[in-house]
Chains A and B, each alone.
Chain A
Amino acid sequence: MKKLLLAVSACALTVGAASAEDVKLGILIGFTGPIESLTKHMAAAAELAMSEVNASGKSPYTFVPVRGDSTCTDAAAATAAAERMITAEGVKGIIGADCSGVTRAVLTNVAMPNGIVMVSPSATSPALSADPDNGLFFRTAPSDAREGEVMADILTEKGVKSIALTYSNSDYGKGLAEAIAAAFTAKGGTVTINAAHDDGKADYSAEVAALAAAGGDLLVVAGYLDQGGKGIIQASLDSGAFSTFGLPGGMVGDSLPAAIGPGLDGSYGQVAQSDSPGAAILTEMGKTSAAPFDATSPYSMESYDGAALIMLAMVAAGSTDPNVYKDKIMDIANGPADGSGTKILPGELGKALELIAAGKAVDYDGASGVTLIGPGESAGRYKEFEIKGGKYETVKFR
C-alpha cells in the first residue's frame, strides 16, 4: 500500500512538474539547536501539506520544499539561512521561523526588505504582535498574551474581583504574568501583588507569607508544576493562606494533583489544547505518511497549517507574488465574516482547491483549528478545566 502511494505521488509529481509552474517554499526552522527534537516532525508536517496539494493535481503550482536551519537561537545564522533561501533558491514564502528571537530577526532583516511572507508555526512572543511587518507576518501559534486574556475571561466569569499573582522567575513566567495582570486589570479586576518566585528552592513559605499579606480572592500561579509552582501551592495550603488557585498551562499535569492531594480540588485554569476534529485526522495522516511523523509533537499541526495557508492563498490570489497573496491569508483562514465558508480539515486540501477554483469561500480550520485574529496570529484554543477529585475535568473549550 505504501509503495503504491509512493508510486502514485511520484507519478503525480512528475505529471505536475510537466504541466505546472514550480514554486519553492522555505521551511526555516531549527534543525539543530534546542528544539531539534521537534523540528523533524514540524518539517515533515509542512512537507506533507505540500505533497498533498501536489498529489491532488488541482493546483496550478507545484510546491517544492526548501529546508533551512534557523538554529532557534542564533539570529545571525537564521538570517543568513533565510537570505540564502530567497536569493539562491528563490522561495516565494517561508514557513518559519520557529523561536521568537530568530523570528523577529528574520522578519526585520530579511522578510520585510525582500517582501516575503512568513508564517511562523511556533513563535509565541507577545512582542511579535506589535512588530511592524508590512502585513507579511502571520503565525499559526497563539501569542502568549492570548492565554492571559483567556484566563482573565475565566476569572471574571467566576466572579473573582482580586487576585494575588506569582510567577516563575523565567521569560515564560514573567511574560505570562504580565499578560494575565494586564488583561485582568483591563476587565476591572485588581491584582494585589505580582511577585516572582525562583524555581528549585526547598521552601516557599516566605514567598507565600508575602502573597498572603497582600491578600486576594485566589492565587494565580504562573509557574511550573514540578518546580516552584508546586512548592507555592503546597506552602499556601500548609499555612492556610489560600485555598483556591488559578492554574495556567504550565501547571497542568497529572503529577500536580498526585503531589498535592485533595487540597487542590476546586482550583481551575486553562491550557492550550485543541478540540478541533482536524487534530485526530492529521495524527492519523502523520502515521501513514510516506515520511511518517508524530503530529501530536508540539507545533507539528501548526506547521502543516502554515504551509497549507500559504499554498491556498497563492492559489486563491492566482499569484505567487507575496505582496499579492498576503492579503488572501486572512480570508482563507477565517472565511467570510458570516461563517458561510466551507470548513477545511487536513486531508481536504484538494477539496479546498476545487472550491477556490469554483469561486466559493473556504474557512481553513486545519489541524489546529486555525482562526487568525489581530495582526494575523492564531487565536488558539484553550481548554478550561476545574480540578475535581484529583482530576482535570474539562469545563469547555474557548
Chain B
Amino acid sequence: MDFLNALVAFSNFILIPGLAYGSQLALGALGVTLIFGVLRFSNFAHGDTMAFGTAFVILFTWWFQSMGITGGPLPTALLALPFGIAVTIAMVLGTDRVVYRFYRRQRAKPIILVIVSAGVMFVMNGLVRMIIGTSEKNFTDGSRFLLDPKTFRDATGLAEPLAIKTTQAVSVVVAVVCVALLFWFLQKTRTGKSMRAYSDNEDLALLSGINPDRVVMVTWMIAGALACIAGTLYGLDKSFRVFVYFGLLLPIFAAAIVGGLGSPLGAIVGGYVIAFSELIVTSAWRKILGYLAPPDWLGPGLYQALSTDYKVAVSFVILIVVLLFRPQGIFGGK
C-alpha cells in the first residue's frame, strides 16, 4: 500500500507533469533543431514565434467561443490551432523574405544570422505585446480533468491523489502525432529527403538539382507550425504570457543542444531530459520517500535539492555541462 502511494505521488508530481512539459519542450526544440540543420543558425526568435502563434490561436479561440463553437470536452484551441498555424507560417515566411533572405544571399556568417534573429525576436515580442497585451491570458476550456484527483482517491482508497489534466493528455498525444508525421515526412517523402540532403551537404545537394528556395520555405513552414503547436500546448497546460515564452528559449535551446543540434531525434530526447531534470532536482521528495522509508529515518527536511526558484538554472547547468564535455550532444549533432 505504501509502495503504491509512493508510486502514485511520483506519477502525480513528477511523471505526468514531466511528460507533458517534456512534450512541449520537445516540439519547441524540434523547430530550433530543424532551422539549425537546414538554415545553419540558432534561431533566437523561436520563443517569440511560439508566443506569436499562440496569440493568434487565442484570438481564434475567443472568436469561436463567441460564435458558440467549442471542442466539447477538448479545448476549443485545438479547433483554432490550424488557423493559428496558417498565420504563423505566413509570419515566418514573411520574415524570411524581408530579413533572412537578404543575409542568405550575402552568404553571411552564422553568427550574423544569430544576431539578426535576436533582432527579429525583439520585433516579434513587441508585436505580440501590441496584439494581445502583456497580461496573463487564459484560454483553456473543455473539461479540466481526464482523471479527477478526488475520483481517483475515492475509487482506489489510496491516500495519494492522482490527477491527469486534459491539457496534459492533449500535450502528449499531439506531440506523438506531430513527431510521427514529421519523421514520416523526413524519411519517406521526396521533399523530406531533399531537406535532409540539403542539411547534410549543401553543395552536393545543389549539384544534384535540389531547389534551395523550396527547401528553405518548407523548413520555415514546418518550424512555424511546430512553434505554434508547442506554444499553444504550453499555453493550454500552463498559461499564456509573452514574457514567459521569451524565457522558454533557454530550456528549449538546452533541449536541442543536449540532444545534438540538427538531430530531430535528439531534440525529442533532449526535451524530456531537460523537463525531468528540472522536476527531479527541484522537487521535494519528502512525501515519496516518506512512504518508502520508515518514518523515523527521515528528519524534518523536505529532501529538495534546489528551491523551485532555480528551475531555470537547472537547464542552464545542463547546457554548460553538455557544451563542455560533449558539445555534439547525445545524438551527435553539429
A contacts, CB < 8 Å to B: 193, 195-198, 200-203, 205-207, 209-210, 212-215, 226, 231, 238-241, 259
A202 x B286 contact (CB < 8 A): no
Q: In this assembly, does B138 line the interface, its C-beta being within 8 Å of a C-beta of chain A? A: yes
Q: Given the known inter-chain contacts A238-B165, A240-B161, A240-B163, please indicate yes or no for A210 contacting B283, CB distance below 8 A.
A: yes
- 18 contacts across the A-B interface (CB closer than 8 A): A195-B307, A202-B238, A203-B237, A206-B282, A206-B311, A209-B284, A210-B283, A213-B284, A213-B285, A214-B302, A226-B136, A239-B12, A239-B13, A239-B161, A239-B163, A240-B12, A240-B152, A241-B161
Q: Which residues of B contact A209 (CB under 8 A)?
A: 13-14, 283-284
Q: Which residues of B contact A205 (CB under 8 A)?
A: 13, 17
A198-B279 Cα distance, complex, nearest whole Å? 17
Give the contacting residue for B302; candidates A210, A239, A240, A259; CB below 8 A: A210
Closest to B241 in A: A202
Q: Which residues of A contact B308 (CB under 8 A)?
A: 197, 206-207, 210
Q: In this assembly, does B211 line the interface, its C-beta being within 8 Å of a C-beta of chain A? A: no
Q: How far is the CB of B15 from chain A (nearest CB, A)?
A: 12
Q: How far is the CB of A365 from chain B (nearest CB, A)?
A: 40
Q: Which residues of B contact A214 (CB under 8 A)?
A: 284, 286, 302
Q: How far is the CB of A263 from chain B (nearest CB, A)?
A: 9
Residues facing A in B274-297 (CB within 8 A) are 278-279, 282-288
A209-B21 Cα distance, complex, nearest whole Å? 15
B161 x A231 contact (CB < 8 A): no
A63-B244 Cα distance, complex, nearest whole Å? 55
Most buried by A among B12, B144, B234, B284: B284
Q: How many A-B residue pairs have CB under 8 A?
A: 76
Interface residues on B, range: 35 or more
A202 x B239 contact (CB < 8 A): yes
Give the contacting residue for B234; candidates A200, A202, A238; CB below 8 A: A202
A54-B284 Cα distance, complex, nearest whole Å? 64
Residue-wise, chain B 285-324 has the 8 Å CB interface mask toward A (1 for contact) of: 1111000000000000011100111010000000000000
Q: Which residues of A contact B136 (CB under 8 A)?
A: 226
B138 x A239 contact (CB < 8 A): no
Give the contacting residue for A238; candidates B138, B163, B304; CB below 8 A: B163
Q: How far is the CB of B113 from chain A (nearest CB, A)?
A: 29
Give the contacting residue for B149; candidates A195, A201, A231, A240; CB below 8 A: A240
A186-B132 Cα distance, complex, nearest whole Å? 48
Q: How far is the CB of A123 from chain B (nearest CB, A)?
A: 30
Q: Which residues of B contact A193 (CB under 8 A)?
A: 302
A276-B12 Cα distance, complex, nearest whole Å? 48
| Further 18 A-B residue pairs, CB within 8 A, beyond A200-B244, A206-B283 | A197-B308, A198-B309, A202-B238, A202-B240, A203-B21, A207-B308, A210-B302, A210-B308, A212-B13, A212-B284, A213-B286, A214-B284, A214-B302, A238-B163, A239-B12, A239-B163, A240-B152, A240-B161
B163 x A259 contact (CB < 8 A): no
Residue-wise, chain B 1-26 has the 8 Å CB interface mask toward A (1 for contact) of: 00000000000111001000100000
